Amino acid sequence: MIRLLQIEFIKLWNNRASKVLIISYFVLLTSIALVAAIKFDIGPVKFHLADQGIFNFPYIWHFNTFITAFFKLFLAIVIVSMMANEYSNKTIKQNLIDGLSKKEFVLSKFLTVISFAVISTVFVFVVSMILGLIYSDYNEISIIFSDLEYLFAFFIKLIGFFSFCLFLGILVKRSAFALGFLILWQVFEGFVRGMIRWKLFDGETTDRIMGFFPLNSMWNLIKEPFSRLGAVKSVANQIGEEFNFDYAVHWYEILIVLVWTAIFIYLSYALLKKRDL
């Protein structure tokens, strides 16, 4: 297993484009700390974002995992191209001839995906912890370590998404087209949602059905945290609205994403096995 990771590391780290993207990704993850610095001080209007409670435990786990999940697109580019480049350089052929089995080949990519997800999760944990300890209004241990399921959901979300990228890389064999396909798929899910809502079911059933689609199921893992924010809630109350959303991470949502992950990895392997190079 270490050997497979080392192989992938040599391939990735010597590629300048991948290296730059990986580094910028982690810099961006850290940059969420900069949100703390947002401060308006124009005469009577004083606004300091960090004071609005976004860094309060345990809300910070929800907020930070939701925001940082957007940066995964950077790694998506790296993952799609690490797969597609093997095809365009034909190095996949050489790898197999040199004695890497097809299973090992897919496994080495998947292990890399898992490593990315693990490192990202640890990164977000550490950054959030530091921010929380500085700005949070509540510092009891029991509160700090509550709601950690958001981190777990974040981890699963990344693995699911990256596995999808990996599969697209193998399927399409060209990085640009694979990324295009990813966007197309997003549009497709939106289209399907529209059609179902329009022709078939009411909103709730549509949401439930859409929860089974890959990108939608990943999106569902961590719900938007903004309406949970104290400031937003009070504004809503003033205009007579009351939010009552379900923010929790559900086990069946995790399960759906895990099933998709398994499908993508298996399909990648099956595709590789079936194809002549």
List residues near other proteins by CB under 8 A: 3, 6-7, 10-11, 14-16, 89-91, 93-102, 104, 273-274, 276-277
- Shortest Å, Cβ 79 to other proteins: 17
Q: Which is nearer to other proteins, 202 or 276 (CB)?
A: 276
Alpha helices by DSSP H, listed for the chain, are 2-13, 16-31, 59-68, 72-88, 91-97, 102-135, 141-144, 149-172, 175-195, 203-210, 214-221, 230-238, 251-274
Q: Does residue 111 sit in helix, strand or coil?
A: helix
Q: Which is nearer to other proteins, 100 or 263 (CB)?
A: 100
- Shortest Å, Cβ 175 to other proteins: 14
- Shortest Å, Cβ 60 to other proteins: 40
String of DSSP letters for 19-71? HHHHHHHHHHHHHGGGGGG-EEEETTEEEEGGGGTTT-TTHHHHHHHHHHGGG
- Shortest Å, Cβ 3 to other proteins: 6
Q: Which two tokens stand for residue 189?
A: 């899910």
Q: Which is nearer to other proteins, 18 or 56 (CB)?
A: 18
Q: Which is nearer to other proteins, 204 or 276 (CB)?
A: 276
Q: Does residue 14 sit in helix, strand or coil?
A: coil
Measured at the alpha carbon of residue 198, what is the angle toward residues 192 and 204, in degrees to the nearest 5? 80
Q: Which is nearer to other proteins, 199 or 274 (CB)?
A: 274
- Shortest Å, Cβ 141 to other proteins: 44
